[in-house]
Chain A
């Protein structure tokens, strides 16, 4: 078992830091249905942490707990060494936790550029009145943020569609724009809910490359949910495996691959 208490160095030489987020004994119920049952795990600074599991395992619910869309009945979320109180999703976002959605939630009527600009809300401080009064300050802020956004647009290679309304884009590009919007917030943790779902092989390769590049270039901590086992094993540093709302495995891809419970969950068990 990899000792992760003080951070570690990955095989490809990236330094992984201390714990940035810790989920402690999270339980989430919807009426009588238990979506998440007493799950604990941690996320370290700079790592790519995957959550995998069969359909209905509670992966997306877990991501929704992290991003504040769901509030667990039991358990604690610790972020940057502090217990996080009950928070609304927009408050979580302002703390620097950005996310994408499984079914893509973009502003369809707005251009790619405008979509990505909304990601900068955390960085834009000027209030309603001050924008009206100190035009210069608000303008400067707009320009600065615009520059940051253009960099991200370049980085994700979507310059050519900057002015296109998102509604007109094909699925693969929409996913990329959504990633761009999340990145624009310069998040300390980036949550990706099935970033490659529904993509063809080529798009998957592109997306994998972007995920790795983001992590490499900006040192962004990434928590991702993915179905494609190949992708997960290639991308992630550590993996949490869920099944029926419970955690059945946690460790490096190699460890998880050898875990008997995980093999059973994915391949089924013979009942005799």
Chain B
């Protein structure tokens, strides 16, 4: 087998893995958009905030320590304990649910029936607030996140491929875990949305507020639930990205990478978010490998996703799986 093809296969696999991580972020967007029609710009920052909180709890960091020290003249930084990863994840989830409740109570309850653009602006505000709040609460330094996920080259795949192709593929264990977790998450979410009472209520609220009220669905409950779910997805994405590249404030920018994924997958489709993520992940890696690096001087990964999204906007604006846009006249 020619070397180029083998390398291409490795690039393809790594693209799939990268795509899974994009999909994880896109998933959070889809959830909130489906249930409330809000495009949540803050999803990326929520992932960052979740990761910051997780690290903070694990390391026993005192929240707002800089502020407290500055005001009271004390010098405290740590509680002096290290929480086990699982407990810390649970506590972080509690924080994310509380955040969902507060966000709903303070912001979105007051914006019911407003134009989508106003809701969108509110989420931009939320994004900046949350970024600053995370900064004050946990500090701005880059943190290492280790919840015990395996990292580094997967030796089984390395050996297996070496025996077949005489060339061992480099596949990161963390990416494999991320793929597995994402698959689980999607299956769980689809089952939840399709086959449970709350899932049905969630879809109902997304469709028609008035009708939802008339059958006895509490809008507030559903919104808090959906924001909590999005918080949970953000936490998962935060853990994966944080483990991969450290918990740092540029994490919030992965939200931007989710945009082209959503253009491809459609804003309202959970499977679409996954397929969109995979297509973008594979597409940008393969493009870089085949065309970008040899002919265009490289670094095409930065813009490839957006150009692809642009093409989709022109030819199929509802995305691969989005609800078809039908206008009755």
Contact in complex: A138, B207 (CB < 8 Å): no
With an 8 A cutoff between CB atoms, is A241 at the interface? Answer: no
A residues adjacent to B (C-beta < 8 A): 67, 69, 88-91, 93-94, 98-99, 101, 105-110, 114, 117-119, 121-122, 124, 126, 128, 131, 138, 142, 167, 181-182, 185
Of listed B197, B216, B326, residue having the most chain A CB within 10 A: B216
Distance in angstroms between the alpha carbons of A12 and B178 in the assembled complex:
69
Contact in complex: B197, A126 (CB < 8 Å): yes
Chain B interface mostly: helix
Contact in complex: B201, A121 (CB < 8 Å): yes
Contact in complex: A99, B214 (CB < 8 Å): yes
Chain A interface mostly: helix
Contact in complex: A128, B216 (CB < 8 Å): no
Report chain B residues within 8 Å CB of A131. 196-198
Distance in angstroms between the alpha carbons of A133 and B34 in the assembled complex:
25
Contact in complex: B208, A106 (CB < 8 Å): yes
Of listed A108, A118, A142, A182, residue having the most chain B CB within 10 A: A118
Contact in complex: B201, A107 (CB < 8 Å): no
B residues adjacent to A (C-beta < 8 A): 195-198, 200-201, 203-204, 206-208, 210-219, 225, 323, 326
Distance in angstroms between the alpha carbons of A59 and B212 in the assembled complex:
22
A92 shortest CB reach to chain B, Å:
8
Report chain A residues within 8 Å CB of B214. 67, 89, 93, 98-99, 101, 105, 182
Report chain B residues within 8 Å CB of A91. 216
Q: Which 9 A-B residue pairs are closest in the complex by CB-CB distance?
A: A93-B216, A105-B211, A107-B207, A89-B213, A94-B216, A124-B197, A105-B210, A90-B218, A118-B204
Sample of 18 further A-B pairs with CB below 8 A, known A101-B210, A105-B214, A131-B196:
A89-B214, A90-B213, A90-B217, A90-B218, A98-B215, A105-B210, A106-B208, A110-B207, A114-B200, A118-B212, A121-B215, A121-B216, A128-B198, A131-B197, A138-B197, A142-B197, A167-B326, A185-B216
Distance in angstroms between the alpha carbons of A142 and B198 in the assembled complex:
12
Distance in angstroms between the alpha carbons of A225 and B197 in the assembled complex:
31
Contact in complex: A109, B196 (CB < 8 Å): no
With known contacts A109-B323, A128-B198, A131-B196, A93–B207 Cβ distance under 8 A: no
Report chain A residues within 8 Å CB of B208. 105-108
